């Protein structure tokens, strides 16, 4: 394994290209498999996006954070989670909305986005105590369990509602159940390996260019581990699956702060750096803004441009102001 990592770092350009290719193919397979499974099970694409797809696209953050936590890089872990959530809203939703108007269901506006905002504020408030330990981790995981139970209950209700509809109302599925699950699992694996390869290539290249590890953690690593969400959301938007696109982003952010971060904290407590509050403020602010933009049940291309511009401004600020 060490020799593979060394080879990937030595040839970071090739590693980066291969990683991006795996993310693209993995995103295609994940979206197609998820939509087929949702249709066959009578579960909405929104629930699939909030759960299965969101978990799979959060796998790079989980893999990176566990390894980084074992190696005593708690600040990198925290920066990765906060940076990834900022990137998911500003970069991922921004690009998705630029590609097409993203319709947003009333449930995301009334349920999922408020859940995300509450979770973001709670986790951000916990950083004020200076150390994120196992007690906080257990509390976050309990909140996550309640939310997962809510999604499961909603999914069962939707399944019952769709089961009562006529067969003509059920969309046609062009692959078998085994084929759909195979596409989803292969897509998940490709996203995991692709996210790791992209991360290794991007980070190694950035360090080779003289960027500090702090800046790399807050920008390059966050973007690299958010690439699965970018690819999945773009593909879902182009294939006219907006519920899957938006649900993936909201669900992934919830997974990041209520599942990936607590697991990281259980591996080893995180000492919160003094400047973490800036990332918390930006993360809460851009999440609130995205929620406001969804109030008319769509995110327009112009609004996607605003989110993307804000994210680019964040990158510029982190790189040229916060480091000085």
Q: How many CB atoms lie within 10 A of CB 93?
A: 31
**Residue written as token pair 């602010």:** 285
pLDDT, one tens digit per residue, over 171-211 is 455 667 788 888 888 887 887 787 677 767 767 776 776 76
Q: In angstroms, rounded to a whole number, what is the distance separating the alpha carbons of residues 15 and 21?
A: 10
- Chain centroid to Cα 309, Å, comes to 19
Residue 214 has pLDDT above 70, yes or no: no
Instruction: Inform me whether the pLDDT recorded for 9 exceeds 70.
Output: no
Beta-bridge partners for 298: 103
Q: Exposure pattern of 52-69 as b/e (b: 16+ CB <10 Å)?
A: bbbbbbbbbbbbbbbebb
What pLDDT was estimated at residue 266?
93
* pLDDT given at position 45: 61
CB 76, CB 222: distance < 8 Å: no
pLDDT attached to residue 2: 61
Structural domain total, the chain: 1
When pLDDT is cut at 50, 70 and 90, the band that residue 169 belongs to is: very low
Tokens of 320: 């040229």
**pLDDT score recorded for residue 311:** 93
pLDDT category, 170, cuts 50, 70, 90?
A: very low
Nearest to 251 by CA among 98, 100, 59, 97: 59
Tokens of 107: 């449930």
Q: CB within 8 A of 317, min separation 6: which ones? A: none
Report pLDDT for 178: 83
Share of the chain above pLDDT 70, in %: 75
Query: What pLDDT is recorded for position 184?
Result: 81
Per cent of the chain over pLDDT 90 is 22
pLDDT (0 to 100) of residue 290:
92
pLDDT value of position 310? 94
| Residue 133 phi, psi (nearest 5) | -105, -170
Residue 210, classed as helix, strand or coil, is: coil
Longest pairwise C-alpha distance within the chain: 63
User: What SS3 state is found at 299?
Assistant: strand
What's the Cα-to-Cα distance from 210 to each of 165, 203, 221, 313, 323, rounded to whole Å? 60, 11, 15, 21, 13
Contact residues for 239 (Cβ-Cβ < 8 A; gap 6+): 31, 35
Cβ atoms within 10 Å of 119's Cβ, excluding its own:
20
Question: Which residue(s) pair with 103 in the sheet?
Answer: 298
Q: Quote the pLDDT of residue 120.
A: 94
Looking at per-residue pLDDT, the higher value among 246 and 163 belongs to 246
- Give mean pLDDT, residues 4-23: 74
CA distances from 185 to 178, 230, 314 (A): 10, 19, 34
Q: Which pTM was predicted?
A: 0.75
Range of the domain at 189: 2-322
pLDDT band of 103, cuts 50, 70, 90: confident
pLDDT at 63 over 60: yes
CATH of the domain at 287: 1.20.1420.30
Q: What pLDDT is stored for residue 84 in this prediction?
A: 87
């Amino acid at each position: 394994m060490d020799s593979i990592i060394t080879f990937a770092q030595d040839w970071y350009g090739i590693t980066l290209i291969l990683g991006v290719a795996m993310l693209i193919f993995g995103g295609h397979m994940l979206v197609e498999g998820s939509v087929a499974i949702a249709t066959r099970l009578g579960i909405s694409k929104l629930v699939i996006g909030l759960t299965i797809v969101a978990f799979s696209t959060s796998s790079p953050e989980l893999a990176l954070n566990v390894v980084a936590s074992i190696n005593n890089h708690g600040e990198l872990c925290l920066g990765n989670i906060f940076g990834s959530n900022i990137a998911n809203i500003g970069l991922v939703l921004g690009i998705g909305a630029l590609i097409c108007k993203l319709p947003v269901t009333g449930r995301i506006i009334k349920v999922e986005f408020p859940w995300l905002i509450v979770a973001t504020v709670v986790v951000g408030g916990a950083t004020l105590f200076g150390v994120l330990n196992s007690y906080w981790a257990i509390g976050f995981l309990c909140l996550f369990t309640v939310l997962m139970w809510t999604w499961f209950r909603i999914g069962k209700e939707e399944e019952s509602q769709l089961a009562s509809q006529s067969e003509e109302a059920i969309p046609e599925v062009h692959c078998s159940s085994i084929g759909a699950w195979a596409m989803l699992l292969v897509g998940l694996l490709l996203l995991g390996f692709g996210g790791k390869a992209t991360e290794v290539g991007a980070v190694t290249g950035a360090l080779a260019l003289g960027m500090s590890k702090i800046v790399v953690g807050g920008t390059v690593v966050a973007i690299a581990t958010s690439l699965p969400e970018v690819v999945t959301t773009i593909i879902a938007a182009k294939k006219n699956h907006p519920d899957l696109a938006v649900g993936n982003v909201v669900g992934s952010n919830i997974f990041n702060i209520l599942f990936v971060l607590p697991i990281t904290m259980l591996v080893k407590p995180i000492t919160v750096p003094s400047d973490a509050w800036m990332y918390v403020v930006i993360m809460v602010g851009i999440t609130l803004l995205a929620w406001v933009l969804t109030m008319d049940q769509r995110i327009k291309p112009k609004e996607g441009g605003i989110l993307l511009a804000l994210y680019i401004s964040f990158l510029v600020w982190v790189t040229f102001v916060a480091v000085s």
